[in-house]
Amino acid sequence: MTETQSGGNVAADDDLRPIVDGHTQEIRILHGRLDGVEGEVRSFKSGQDAMMERLISVEAQGQERERNRAQDRVQDRSALTSLAQQIAKLTGAQEERNRQSQERTQTLKRLSIWVGIMTGVLGMLGATLFSSQTFDTAFWGISAPART
């Protein structure tokens, strides 16, 4: 530099080298620090990416659990529906057996009433016929003793 350019005394080249060397050294130190900061930023981003992946993994696991629970609920509902249908079938079958049993009981009651009525009618008819002297003589061949 000339004296006019710097506005002051012109420095000798030997005087500037130590200053430039000092600045160069400081720049190297700053570059080293900058590299360290960049490494920390990369490490931070890497950690952040790992945390994000972990968060995504946890969320996916939660969704999988929810799907499994929903599937379990559907299976439970299906099992309950099937059980209810089986119970209804058993109840229906029991009701049908009860109905058939009642029908048999009614049939037996009607038959016993009919047999009772027929027995009564035949008993009255027999009593009437057997009390007749003519029937006794014709059927048994016995004549009644004469009345005096």
What's the confidence (pLDDT) of residue 101? Answer: 94
What contacts 142, CB < 8 A, 6 or more positions away? 136
Tens-place pLDDT, residues 34-75: 888 888 888 888 888 889 999 999 999 999 999 999 999 999
**Three state DSSP letters for 49-89:** HHHHHHHHHHHHHHHHHHHHHHHHHHHHHHHHHHHHHHHHH
pTM above 0.85?
A: no
Look at the block and give the residue holding tokens 């931070």: 44
Phi, psi for 146 (deg, rounded to 5): -70, 145
Taking the CB of residue 135, how many other CB atoms lie within 10 A of it? Answer: 13
Domain positions in the chain are 13-104
Average pLDDT, the chain: 84
More confident residue, 138 or 83: 83
Which letter does DSSP use for residue 18 in this model?
H
What's the confidence (pLDDT) of residue 35? Answer: 85
What's the confidence (pLDDT) of residue 20? Answer: 84
Tens-place pLDDT, residues 116-125: 999 999 998 8
Residues of the chain above pLDDT 70, percent:
78
Q: What is the mean pLDDT of residues 111-118?
A: 97
